[in-house]
Structure formats: C-alpha cells, structure tokens
C-alpha cells in the first residue's frame, strides 16, 4: 500500500505543476494579444468604444508612412516588464499597436522578457524569422494581414523591449 501512495504523490504533484503552467501560459497569452475589441483597421472612435480608458497623446509620436501614435492605454505587465501600449493611426485607421517597455533596471537588459515573448510568439504564430546583432535581437511572424514582431535593444543607456502588431504592407518589387 505504501508503494502505491509513494508513486501517486509525484504523479499528483506533476499534474498540479502542469495545471499551474497551463494557467500561467494562458494568462501570458492574453497579455500579449491585442486588447479585447481592438483590431487593426478600426477608426479612432471605434478604439475609444473598445477602450474607454484610452487617452489621446499630448505629443504624438510620428513614424514613416504617415503613422501617428495618437492614443495610449494603461500599462500592461508582460514577461516581468511594464509595457505601455501606443496606438498608431494613418488615413484615419489603426495601423499599428506598439507595446514598449524600458528594461534599464533589469539586470539582463530585458533578455528574459524578450525570450518569454518569443516563446509566446512561437506558440501562437509558429516559428519566427529572427536576427541577433550586438545590442539587439529581433523575432517576427506573419499572421494573415498582420505582421507581429518582438525587439530587444540592450544598449546600457536605453535597454528596451517592444512588441508590435502592424498592418501588413505588401509591396511590388518595382516600388523598391
């Protein structure tokens, strides 16, 4: 009888650990997904309806292609860092959602957070296209009409990690 209990105790522990891992993973997956009701292509009014707490940015960030980071939402904790979401519009449509976190105070300059987000991306989108240079790492996926990427900058003065969803833009070779 003792042998059966000794064998079942590790099995129970293993099942509990597996259940905990599934719960943690599902929480992590939810954190990296776009907020509920938010989709690329929506208008600013639709974004406000989906995220009533979103606020206009006083000094919008401007990117190429006419993208303007004009809306922000509350910071979100992911992979041990606090990410600030910014919503970029062009031609009155949401074209990019960027989660950015400073990793200055992280002892590894955000390497663990980057690795965690890459693992999440593999689970959701499959294998990534990746590159690594001194001071930066990058992993990207394509999901339908959306490009998703994670980037880590590990410069000692400005270490950061970003997760970006952006509308896929296909270009004709003659445009390059």
**Average pLDDT along the chain, 176 residues, taken 10 residues at a time:** 47 35 38 84 96 95 94 95 97 96 93 96 95 94 95 89 91 64
By DSSP bridging, strand 55-62 and strand 68-72 are antiparallel
> In the prediction, which pLDDT does 156 show?
73
**CA-to-CA distance for 55 and 94, rounded, in angstroms?**
15
Burial of residue 158 (CB within 10 Å: 0-12, 13-18, 19+) is exposed
pTM score, whole prediction: 0.78
**CA-to-CA distance for 22 and 176, rounded, in angstroms?**
45
**CA-to-CA distance for 167 and 33, rounded, in angstroms?**
15
> In the prediction, which pLDDT does 172 show?
62
Based on its alpha-carbon atoms, the radius of gyration of the chain, rounded to whole angstroms, reads 20
């Amino acid at each position: 009888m003792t042998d059966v209990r000794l064998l079942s105790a590790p099995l129970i522990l293993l099942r509990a650990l597996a259940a905990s891992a599934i719960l943690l993973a599902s929480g992590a997956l939810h954190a990296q997904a776009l907020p509920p009701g938010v989709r690329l292509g929506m208008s600013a009014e639709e974004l406000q309806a989906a995220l009533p707490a979103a606020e206009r940015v006083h000094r919008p960030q401007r990117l190429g292609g006419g993208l303007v980071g004009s809306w922000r939402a509350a910071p979100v904790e992911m992979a041990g860092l606090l990410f600030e979401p910014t919503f970029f519009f062009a031609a009155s449509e949401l074209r990019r959602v960027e989660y950015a976190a400073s990793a200055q105070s992280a002892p590894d300059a955000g390497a663990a957070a980057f690795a965690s987000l890459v693992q999440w991306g593999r689970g959701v989108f499959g294998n990534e296209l990746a590159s690594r240079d001194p001071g930066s790492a990058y992993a990207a996926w394509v999901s339908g009409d959306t490009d998703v990427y994670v980037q880590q900058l590990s410069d000692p003065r400005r270490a950061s990690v970003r997760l970006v969803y952006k509308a896929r833009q296909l270009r004709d070779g003659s445009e390059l």
